[in-house]
């Protein structure tokens, strides 16, 4: 699990990797000629953050904590922040690709 910081620190798992751990993994992968493709979910599969009361208002449908309301600019802002944080850690190790998920967002435009 990623070591979220700043605005996302409150959703960081207690057993998350440290930034140093992530860098160690990336360094080893790079030394073996492997490309690590980071993933940050952008539409669906966002229960990791939308399950918290603090972020509940960003749900597309209040009953389901999986899908973000893409029309809410504040909600989009926190997704962009997640992408930014992951990219910053990966970039020094030759970030070529970035997986944005964007699947199973069944409640969009609910």
Where in the sequence numbering do the catalytic residues fall? 104
- Show the CA angle centred on residue 110, arms to residues 55 and 13, nearest 5°: 25
- Rounded to a whole number of angstroms, the CA Rg of the chain reads 15
For residue 66, the SS3 value is strand
Supply angle C-alpha 67, 72, 77, rounded to 5: 90
Place of tokens 């990791």: 48
């Amino acid at each position: 699990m990623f070591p979220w910081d700043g605005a996302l620190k409150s959703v960081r798992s207690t057993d998350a990797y440290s930034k140093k751990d992530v860098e160690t993994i990336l360094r080893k992968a790079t030394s073996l000629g492997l490309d690590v493709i980071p993933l940050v979910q952008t539409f669906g599969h966002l229960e990791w953050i939308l399950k918290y009361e603090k972020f509940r208002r960003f749900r597309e449908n209040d009953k389901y904590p999986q899908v973000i309301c893409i029309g809410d600019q504040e909600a989009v802002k926190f997704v962009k922040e997640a992408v930014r944080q992951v990219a910053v850690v990966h970039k020094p190790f030759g970030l070529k690709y970035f997986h944005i998920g964007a699947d199973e967002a069944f409640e969009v435009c609910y």
